[in-house]
Every structure is written in structure tokens, then in C-alpha cells.
Amino acid sequence: MNSRREAQMAGWASSELLRNLETGIHVGSWRDPEGARTLAVTSPVTGEEIATVADAGEADALAALDVATAAMADWSATSPIRRADILMAAHARILEIADELAVIICAETGKVLAEAKGEVAYGAQYLRWYAEEAVRLGGRITKAPDGNSDIVVESRPVGPCLLITPWNFPFAMVARKVAPALAAGNTVIIKPSELTPLASYVLVQVLLEVGVPAGVVSLLTTTRPAEISGPLLSDARLRKVSFTGSTGVGRVLHELASAHFAKTSLELGGDAPFVVFDDADVDRAVEGIMLAKFRNSGQTCVAANRIYLQRGIADAVLAQLTEKVGALTVADGFADGADVGAVIDSRAQAKCSEVVETAVAAGGKVLARSAVPDTGCFVPATLVAGVPLESPLRDLEIFGPVAIVSVFDDEKEVVAAANDTSYGLASYVFTADLDRANRVARSIDAGMVGINTGLISNVAAPFGGIKASGVGREGAAEGIEEYLILRYVNVVPGR
């Protein structure tokens, strides 16, 4: 263990942010009535156990739904300004503990500490944003066409919600779901990834401390996700599921939710094309690629999955990329100078190795490969160029620090290649021609497009995709609508 890791982890055992780990957070404390099962959280850097948390089962899930249902009436009747005040207090508290929370995120994910701090800041914005949105829930009153009655349309909370979050951004993803759900007046059950549950514990602890009533927020950590989600989605009392994760799991959840017509938001896989035209600014394009590809060790759903360079600019871009990728420091996220941290586990390591092998077999050439530590779940930052447009890797989400580059000749060709995927989450276009930027942005089948930028996530923007990348949106005004339903009342004046 390096000295910086030792210093950062020194206060781990006494951290006030990690209470109730082995009992879960619910109405007071609870345990699986069949036995106090627990699961170990391990570091992808050292392989060591860093915490033990409750391993919930079906009985716990149904108990959580019981209290969420019981608490729903009072919480939905709580004034919007009170809900806003609670979320704003949670935002302030998260900022107070930001450094300590970032250490927890770094420890459980293996990401670079600076990126963990960025995640905390980003996730906290959702608490503030939806605190402000809580008092702006819409509705309208209009006169009926015949003039004999008033049409009243109001927004109402959808009901108890199941929020299933991934391991790659364990704080930001849960904040992005919890904040609008609570702002809208819903109760929630959070099911984080068993690989990275600790940040969720911190957020729930904070919400309870700042005034969220018992039963409004429950947390279920488990190694048995099907045992949790199946019974919950089979229960008509659950009215909403929001899931971020793989397309395969999303399909299953969508089917289960349809049994009782529960509302769904599904943010699923991505296969983002990153297109650089001849007239683009080379330095800016390289900066965008580095950010979109290697942020969070390439483990983002909006990562640049397929990089397309127009032939006239390809050599200049590749020259810079080769130098920059080769110079990246892949290391323990706590280490000084770390640029790229660990991937989440050995399966992710193996997948990245297979991607490189497949790319080379298809005709690609490795132009850069960084050094990695001898132990831990690390993948070399890798640049492979010369891969055909019709690569066997198309329609595969890499989810690691491996950049695959292809060269194209014209706009029509690259748009066809960009759309040759079942996914449709994010895309990126670099060009100095505004007409081309708008034309290509409208031609690429994706829910989000970045023009001359490699970073598109923003609390004020609706995040989500089309096709196999899911349904629904998170963030912005649209994000809270996912947790609301409409009711219409026809009012005839008394006579």
C-alpha cells in the first residue's frame, strides 16, 4: 500500500459517514430475518476487503416496500418548499463532507481521487437543482372549448420508486435519481451495485440527518439482485423503476415492470461515435478525445467508443494521441500523478484485452500502450488505429481505457458508420463548419450530441438515449417529469 493511500485510508474505521453498514438503512436498523447475511466490498486496486455491508434478500425488499408505501401519503403531502429545504440542506452537507466522500468513492471504485472529487461536485448539483425544481411542479387551468367547464391538469407523484444504480459513478448516479424522486414527493428504495455500495450509504445517511422522514428512503445492498427486483416489480404497489446499467438487464426489468404498468426510466448501454472532420481544430479535437475516452478509466456510458478521423486530419490527430496516450500514468487512484485508475474488476480487464486483440486481428495497429502496475485491476491506456469502419467491434461497448480509431473519407460514409449500431446514447462531432455540425448532429441517431466538446453531461440537460440505449431522461426539467403522473379534473361551476 502506497503512503498516500495509507494516509487517505487512515480514518476509514472511525468514519462517521459509514454507519449502519451491516444493518442497512431503513426504519431504524433491519436485518434479513433469515440471518444477518453480509457482503464484502473489496478494492479493485489492492483486492483487500474495505468494508462489510448488509446482504439483503426478498424479505428485506418487501419490508422496504411496506415502509415506502406507508410513508408515501405523508411525504407526498409534505409541502414542496419543505421538500426543497431538505434537498438543499443535503446539498450543503454533501459539500461539507466532499473530501471524505471522495476518498470513499476512490477506495471502492479505484478511480482517480481528483475524478472522485469531481463526481461528488457533479452529483451534489442534482440535489440543488431538484430542490429548486420541487417548487415549480407544473399544472394548468384552461377553459373547455364549449365554455361550460374548466379543465384542471395537475402533476402528482407517481408512487413508491425502485432506483437501481451502477458501480461506475456510485454517488452521482444515485443522486441523479433520488433528488427528482424526492422533490416530486415520492418514496424510494435504492439498490446500488454490490461492487460500490458505500457512497449510497453516505447519501442516505445524509438525507436522514437533514430531515427526510423514516421510510421515505430505504437502501438495499445485495448479492442477489434478481431476488430483490423480481418480488418488488411483481408487487403492484411499486409504481416506478429507474435503472442505469446494461441493455440486457434493462430489457428484463422493463418486461417485469410491464406486469403492473409501472413507469420506467432506463439509461442503458452506449456505443458513442466520435467524429473529427478535416476542418476541426486538431488540439481541441485531441483534448476532446482524451476526455471522452479516458475519463473514469473509460468506464462511462458516454465514452468515445468509436473514434472516426477524416483522412486529411488523421495523421495530425494520431500523432498527438500517440504521444498523449503513451504518457498517461495508470496507477492507484490515490497515487500522486495518477491519470487513469483501476477498472472495476478482473472481468473488465479481460474484456479490454479481448477488445485490443480483436481490433488488431481486424487490421488495427497498436500505436500506444501505457505502463501499468504489477498488481490490481489495471488496463493499459491503449490506442489502436487503422481499424476498418466495418469493424467486428461495432455495436460493442468497450467500457475501458482502449481507444479504437478508424479513418473515413466523406460525411455520408461516416454518418452511416456512426449509425451502424443498436445503441443511441451519445455522440460527438468536431468541425469548424456550423452547417456541417448541425447537419451531422441531426443525422446521427443518438439522444445526445456534443459539438466540439468531449464532455456533455450537465445537470441542466436531459440525459438519455434512443434505441437500445433506453427510455426516459435524467436531469433538467424533464428529469422530474419521470417521477410524476398527470391528473385531469373537469370543474363545472356550481349554479
Output the CA angle 174-176-179, nearest 5 degrees: 95
Strands (E), 321-452: 365-369, 382-385, 402-408, 426-430, 448-451
Q: Phi/psi at 36 (nearest 5 deg)?
A: -80, 75
Integer Cα distance of 126 and 478 in angstroms: 13
Q: Which letter does DSSP use for residue 25 in this model?
A: B
For 92, 162, 164, 404, the CA distances from 128, given in Å and listed in that order, are: 9, 22, 21, 38
How many C-beta atoms surround the C-beta of residue 80 within 10 A? 16
Which set of grid coordinates corresponds to residue 2? 502506497
H-run or E-run covering 491: strand 484-491
Do residues 328 and 296 lie in contact, with contact meaning Cβ atoms separated by under 8 Å? no
One-letter identity of residue 447: G
Please confirm, yes or no, whether 96 is among the known catalytic residues: no
Q: Which of the residues 106, 108, 133, 301 is marked catalytic?
A: 301
Please confirm, yes or no, whether 267 is among the known catalytic residues: yes
Q: Which of the residues 267, 397, 481, 482 is marked catalytic?
A: 267
Could you please report the per-residue DSSP string of 417-441? HHT-SS--SEEEEE-S-HHHHHHHH
The residues carrying an active-site annotation are 267, 301
